[in-house]
Structure 1
């Protein structure tokens, strides 16, 4: 397999998408990715808002030393795996702000042929997970990126809820994931790395 650089980029307020991203990191490494960066999208919410939710505040304090994602990380990466929660069926403001910083790379054509994949979560089974992933993919089309959705390329997809766009989970009132999606995340990461390897090898050849 051609060496692939993978950026696992996530935003998480209370920890769900942090966990999905950690599984994606595991899956990318197991798939043979040469280098994997684990990166968080910067938090923009005011401290008062964070402090109003004990789970949010605890997770923020536990993870604030994780490196923040920058456009340079996207330039470096051959593949990018996003893990983000749904906010009213679209991406959180923090994620939109990060995407908006990629204009310079876009103008230089440096995001073309990046291989991207995404995962999401919401607090109920039909809370906008699929719409959120597709909303993010709309940005990726503007990048000229290649979307590596999991589809139904492996039976694990059916066991984890059957979302062909990217792994999605429901989070209960106690903040726990309802679906068991670890294996599906590993598969999605492996598929992303494999496709990125094919693309990189083809571009080099």
Structure 2
């Protein structure tokens, strides 16, 4: 990219009942406000239609987000920075997001994911429901890709209220409690930090090789 181009951020998520979707939307909006070109993408649903129909919140969210474009490998290659969002599943990322990540082997083999900026966020139904381990597990992907992980850390006062230096996280009380003001502010900060770090890195590299 040239020194005058906006950095490109892909916010790629899975959400069953909408909690992670709210975080992803907030990240995408904050990244745009910070000057980035953004693609908000959901990954393909793998659960059978019967399972989705059996949960009103799940089926309502699926219907409400039909307009969101599904993620493709082109989104990974296009992006300067990738933000992954997922609910916890036994302290691990949801299989829907993992399946999408597993299709990226060709890009990895060609070295096309090296030096991407990476950052992760999550939500769980219960307190201590595996939020930190889920983010760490997602970040293992970035290690293998040769990406540069950018966590929020405690680099902003909001982090001392939200309390997760690995990435924004939320406890939804089994989808009954949406992300609140603190969680959304933390998500906004994480997205801004990703954009600012990406701009510093990518533009510095462009200037070096200009």
| Deviation, structure 1 residue 178 | 6.3
The CA distance in 2 between the partners of 1:132 and 1:5, in whole Å, is 25
Q: Tell me, what secondary structure is at the counterpart of 1:176?
A: coil
Q: Which residue of 1 aligns with 2:165?
A: 164
In structure 1, the residue matched to 2:116 is 114
Root-mean-square deviation over aligned CA pairs? 1.3
How far is the alpha carbon of 1:61 from its aligned partner?
1.0
1:24 paired residue among 8, 23, 27: 27
Gaps of 5+ in 1: none
Gap change, CA 1:173 and 1:88, over 3 Å in 2: closer
Structure 1 residues 178 and 106 mapped into 2: Cα distance closer, same or farther (>3 Å)?
Answer: closer
Alpha-carbon distance between aligned partners in 1 of 2:202 and 2:175, rounded to the nearest angstrom: 42
Runs of 4+ that moved beyond 4 A? none
Q: Normalised by the size of structure 1, how large is the TM-score?
A: 0.95
- Mapped pair 1:198 → 2:210: no
Asked whether the 8 Å contact 1:11–1:94 carries over to 2, the reply is yes
* TM-score between both structures, scaled by the size of structure 2: 0.93
Query: Are 1:172 and 1:178, in contact at CA under 8 Å, matched by a contact in 2?
Result: no
Q: Equivalents in 1 of 2:84, 2:138: separation in Å?
A: 9
Aligned residues: 203
Aligned to 2:183: 181
Q: Hey, what does 2:80 align to over in structure 1?
A: 78
Q: Which runs of 5+ in 2 are unaligned?
A: none
- What CA distance in whole angstroms lies between the structure 2 residues aligned with 1:173 and 1:90? 17
Once the two structures are superposed, residues 107-130 of structure 1 have per-residue CA deviations (whole angstroms, 9 ceiling, x without a partner) of 010000100111100011200011
Task: Name the SS of the counterpart of 1:190 in structure 2.
Answer: helix
